[in-house]
Amino acid sequence: MNRLLQLQKLGQSVWYDNIHRHLLHCGELGRMIKEDGLGGVTTNPTIFEKAIGGGDAYDAPIRMLITRHPALDSRDLFNTLAVEDVQRAADLFQPVYEQSHHINGMVSIEVSPELAYNTDATISEANQLFEAVNRPNVMIKVPATREGLTAIEVLISEGINVNATLLFSVKRYRDVAEAYLLGLEKRLRRGQPLHDITSVASFFVSRVDTKVDALLQSRLEKADEERRGLIQSLQGRIAIANAKMAYQAWQEIFGTERFAQLKASGAHPQRLLWGSTGTKNPAYSDTLYIDELIGPDTVNTIPPATYQAFKDHGHPQRTLDKDLDGARRQLAELPALEIDLDAVTDTLEEEGVCQFADSYHGVIDVIETKRRLLEAS
């Protein structure tokens, strides 16, 4: 049986962390929806940078746009191309959206990462994107910085689907869930419907291991024999332990009487979405961050290589709530090794915003270069 379909039988939705014109127009995305039960697509500036800069698939659309609208600058061109891709994907996922009662079939598009620390500008651009795409199954990605939390609350209260992204810590995840609940409660007080609002909290995984493993390796080089075994046992395990604790928090938050009252009015729980699930360390299994994080009412958005790897040789079985005591012990070992996980996750958030901003600037530069070449030809 298709292992991706088995994941869904275990309650986990599979989304695809990729988008490009060929995927949308050659029938491949439609095939994945039909054969693999694909439930959604996530995008970010890095994905668009690779898509637009990686070939000539966007040359003809850019030429058409600059011919018809010569006053458009490169940022406007990018937004137009991205919105068109998301609209096409959302149309392909429309049946999934309806069949899943509006929790799957979602396509995400991100506000500019330049706005990650500006609440008002984030809210404004999110509204513009939601209106521009004009599809009920679009989800606006908002970086879950401190400034982003208020934006998430406001956007949910306005009826806009939100993908709260760049989450690395359990504490910040709790803040995001609180923003979601506050937004729903505002709508409920105004007598507005809740049943059409969908949200996920994108909790990043592999980047945590990349950062923590480097710190563990530095401790390993100075450790005595007794401590070396402990340090080695923690390598490649902290990201999974961290995610398992986030899921425990999710179960607690959405098992309360507070949420039960919202659910009675039609609200959906805000699901955890595992992001950054491609394995970066070649010493680890290429399906590690799927195999170890399988559980109900979650989403895994999977990059292309990992998607194919899991389909070929992944291990679909419920693992997300297994050996929780072991996960807690692993996290509890870090302070004695002088590793501050909160400091690590704070750094990862800052780096994530910078990385996406760099990719955003990169895709704008690519479009500007293409524009000059096309205008000169």
* Residue 265 · residue 239 · CB < 8 Å: no
- With b for 16 or more beta-carbon neighbours within 10 A and e for fewer, the 122-149 pattern comes to bbebbbebbebbebbbbbbbbbbbebbb
What are the φ/ψ torsions at residue 374 (nearest 5 degrees)?
-70, -40
* Residue 91 · residue 76 · CB < 8 Å: no
Other Cβ atoms less than 10 A from the Cβ of 250: the count is 24
What residues act catalytically? 141
Beta-strand relationship, 162-167 and 12-16: unpaired
d(CA 166, CA 202): 6
d(CA 300, CA 322): 18
Instruction: For residue 109, give the nearest of 139, 79, 69, 148 by alpha carbon.
Output: 139
